[in-house]
Amino acid sequence: MTTPHRAAVLGSPIAHSLSPALHNAGYAALGLADWHYDRYEIDESTLADFVAGLDPAEWAGLSLTMPLKRAVRPLLDTVSATARAVDAVNTVVIDRDGRRHGDNTDVPGLVNALRERGVERVGSAAVLGAGATASSALAALAQVCDGEVTAYVRSAERAAEMRELGERLGVPVRTADWADGARALDGPLTVSTTPVGATDGFAAQLTAAPGVLFDVLYHPWPTKLAAACLERGGTVLGGLDLLVHQAVLQFERFTGVQRGPLAAMRAAGEAALAG
């Protein structure tokens, strides 16, 4: 009897996650009939017991969403340089000896999504927000931005955190008041990392020709800011672009395949959102 291969996404709340649809579509596309991907409602209080109960003969890896991206670190045997830099682990690979290896695929996933849309290098960039996703966005911008990154934040504490992270990543970061966030779209690239509705007020303040907007939300879509950019001829990437690209990288790490089925996983995500 073939030993099943398992993976899953953990978080709280988790019912909305598209990850099972993406990964299971990938398995189907490559004929990996003994692989299956699930979702589990897990928070900080239940994480350690859940991870300790995983059988390495079956389990290949975990995807982590909030609030677990930092809470998982004490449970890991190794952590990649990328995950350490942004203090966020969204991927755990479990080897056959039961060792757990933490990584972050949000950073390269964001870079790959931009490159797919022709954004290779920019002279400057902006980030809206200063949470965990903003940290990953700043790490990604370190690879595509030749100049300064402006972070639009709500507090002096958040501003200091973003400047400190920029120093660690080797990216010059200037901070600006959140109320001026609409100005971010005047530049060549803006990454919005905020919750639903947070940027709605900026939509009516856009210039006639905004730059590229990468809005990491995927539901509801488009956001008011994304819709306003599209109406004015801007290039817009959404949360599904990031989700698919980071999921493909997870898929490759879990299964060992060299190239994950990007098209099949994207189609599954689009179908799930449409449904």
Q: What is the dihedral of CA 179, 183, 185, 189, to 10 degrees?
A: -100
> Angle, to 10 degrees, between the axis of helix 262-274 and the axis of helix 239-255?
130
Output the six-digit token pair for 63.
């995807």
Q: 115: which residues sit within 8 A by CB, 6+ positions away?
A: none
69 is catalytic: yes
63: CB partners within 8 A, 6+ apart: 7, 8, 9, 10, 19, 90, 91, 247, 250
Catalytic annotation, pick one of 5, 39, 69, 183: 69
**Omega of the bond prior to 188 within 30 degrees of 0, cis?**
no
* Helix 19-29 × helix 239-255 angle, to 10°: 50
Residues labelled as active-site residues: 69
